[in-house]
A and B are shown apart, each in its own frame.
Chain A
Amino acid sequence: MFENLSDRLDRAFKLLKGEGKITDINVAETVKDIRKALLDADVSYKVAKNFTDDVKKKALGQDVLNSVKPGQMMTKIVHDELVQLMGGEMVDIDIKGSPAVILIAGLQGSGKTTFSGKLASFIKSKKGRQPLLVAGDVYRPAAIQQLKILGEQISVPVYTEEGSKNPVEIAKNAIKFAKDNGHNVVIVDTAGRLAVDEAMMQEVENIKKAVNPSEILFVVDSMTGQDAVNTAKEFNDRLNFDGVVLTKLDGDTRGGAALSIRSVVDKPIKFVSAGEKMDALQVFHPERMADRILGMGDIVTLVEKA
């Protein structure tokens, strides 16, 4: 659907072969192309604008070497800039504390419950800890049952209170249960909620207060469009979360939301979810994400296990 940015830029630069330096005038078309690529990838309008302004400043005055394709050179500038924006050191999750509490939050259908299962499995097998899953979604039909089935698949116990309508109480009781039963990591799944739903946002804040999590993860669908920044900002204002989980990256979305969220809330992307199965969890690679946003192929990182 989208043309490769690098090809597009090569075309745009054909005209200036031999002109030597990138100037204000000859870079305008190119910057427009970059902007379009970013918007096609669902990077937020404002983030894309600031980004291209920065890139333009960086590009001005650079030599257009006759030996390299100027399009490639420009793509490299853009790519490096993207990596830098999304990158930094890999930040591991904090599972210190006894028990360490991890709170999972996000919009409806973003992949929270599935991720909760994956994370529990990861913590059990890779970190050698004894996780407990907590069914804190008391609203969605069969949400508790869903988590129970996932727990069974990965052999991790699930704390539930069928019939209770109080997620704050459930979370509190679950921690007591964990202490009594030797679980040292507690993962609390919560119901999906919209940032504009005041009562539900208050609820998740209350859960946070009640259980004092060492880690709050915001789960976001990588197919999200321009609204990603609003949502991430609202959730961050309310919860001051520690990291982001990008889901459904096994699709073919460019995933520009990753860049937007990173620029707006400045929180690291800690995990990438790429599949429905319990082992489809990866760490985040800023390089690959930059390639992907620019449409440069990201096949390496995809787990094709439909």
Chain B
Amino acid sequence: EKTKESVLSKLSRAIAGKSRVDDDVLDNLEEALIMSDVGVETTVKIIERIQDRVARNKYMGTEELNAILKDEIVNLLEENNSVYNNKVTYGDEKKPYVIMVVGVNGVGKTTTIGKLAAQLTNNGKKVYLGAADTFRAAAIEQLTVWAERSKSTIIKQQMGSDPASVAFDTLSSAKKNDADVVIIDTAGRLHNKINLMNELSKIKNVMQKVIPDAPHEVLLVLDGSTGQNAFEQAKQFTKATDVTALALTKLDGTAKGGVVLGISDQFKIPVKFIGVGEGIDDLQLFDRKTFVESLFNI
């Protein structure tokens, strides 16, 4: 926005007329990264890499520094499985392909499921949704609306029923009816609540009674405006459910979601989707380069 200068122009100003990366430049870079929620540790790591590269092949000007910078940051982001690069391909090989969606409260799990289901049904896939959030008020009704919008089939029970049993029913029904993709919604839970985390492992185990290698994907949804706590979320959810992919939501706001740089690097989990709104079409495939660009265009 107007009040804020883009990081690159700030950096350019800091670099202008200088022949090497000095403290001023690094301070500006640090500020930019911290303000995008990259976190101190990852920021230090990036700055060290820049210093290394500059020491090796003395840079000439702003252009080169910018290029090196983006390059180093892109490298922190785990590469997506190539099949996901330009299209959602769930259900092309395994049938039904089972996705379990997890995350803390209110990050956008249910909405992301609705959007993803819509993309899949648009690609001609038969999609089943499992309403395994049986806890939050009207969570089942919310997913029901998304099932209608996305033309998928929802399997549900009463509020308060056993989520593992809902997951079991969903997989059984999907298998019987030859569905291509199953997506299981789960209740939001804070990662420091041991009982709730154990419940996730139980849901997973029960699914394997129907489909032995399910779930094929465990999608952890992170809110793009979350700060350093997202690290702990990634750590604890990975411990409980072997997270295989990340979705980063609410990037249509001013938050940058920079915390995923460190998460993706440390846990080697690719970011596959980004949420950019509340509408059914507001789910995009994650692109490393575009993401890094946007980090620098405050």
Q: Which residues of A contact B (CB under 8 A)?
A: 1, 36, 39-42, 44-45, 107-111, 139-143, 145-150, 153, 194-196, 221, 223-228, 230-231, 248, 250-254, 256-257, 276, 304, 306
Contacts and interface: CB of A to CB of B under 8 A. Distances in A.
Which secondary structure dominates chain B's binding surface?
A: loop
B185 interface: no
B34 to A, nearest CB: 5
Interface stretch (B103-111, B115-123, B207-215): B103-111
Nearest to B188: A276
Contacts of B61: none
B253 A109 contact: no
Interface in B27-60: 31, 34-37, 39-40
Given A39-B40, A251-B192, A141 B253 contact: no
A146 B137 contact: yes
A145 B227 CA distance: 31
Given A42-B228, A107-B225, A227-B254, A251 B191 contact: yes
A195 B141 contact: no
B227 A256 contact: yes
A195 B254 contact: yes
B11 to A, nearest CB: 16
Interface in B248-274: 250, 252-256, 259
Contact of A141 (B31, B142, B159, B231): B142
Contacts of A224: 225-227
Given A107-B253, A142-B141, A145-B138, 20 more contacts: A1-B231, A1-B235, A39-B34, A108-B108, A141-B114, A141-B145, A142-B145, A143-B138, A145-B137, A194-B252, A223-B226, A224-B225, A224-B226, A225-B226, A228-B227, A231-B253, A248-B190, A251-B191, A252-B190, A306-B190
B158 to A, nearest CB: 12
Nearest to B110: A141
Interface in B134-190: 135-139, 141-142, 144-146, 159, 189-190
A45 B231 contact: no
A149 B135 CA distance: 12
B227 A142 contact: no
B252 A248 contact: no
Contacts of A196: 252-254
B138 A146 contact: yes
A194 B252 CA distance: 8
B195 interface: yes
B149 to A, nearest CB: 8
B283 to A, nearest CB: 15
A45 B135 CA distance: 37
B39 A227 contact: no
Contact of B106 (A147, A221, A227): A221
A225 B259 contact: yes
Contacts of A36: 40
Contact of A142 (B34, B138, B192): B138
B226 A40 contact: no
Given A40-B40, A194-B252, A196-B254, A226 B191 contact: no
9 contacts: A42-B227, A108-B250, A139-B278, A223-B226, A225-B37, A227-B255, A228-B225, A251-B104, A253-B227
B254 A306 contact: no
B40 A306 contact: no
A142 B142 contact: yes
A45 B229 contact: no
B196 interface: yes
A250 B190 CA distance: 8
B223 interface: yes
Contacts of A231: 225, 253-254
Contacts of B35: 44-45, 226
B2 interface: no
A276 B34 contact: no
A176 to B, nearest CB: 26
Contacts of A148: 138
A12 to B, nearest CB: 16
B94 interface: no
Interface string B193-228: 111100000000000000000000000000101111
A221 B223 contact: yes
A270 to B, nearest CB: 20
B232 interface: yes
B26 to A, nearest CB: 14
A193 B155 CA distance: 30
A57 to B, nearest CB: 20
A306 B199 CA distance: 12
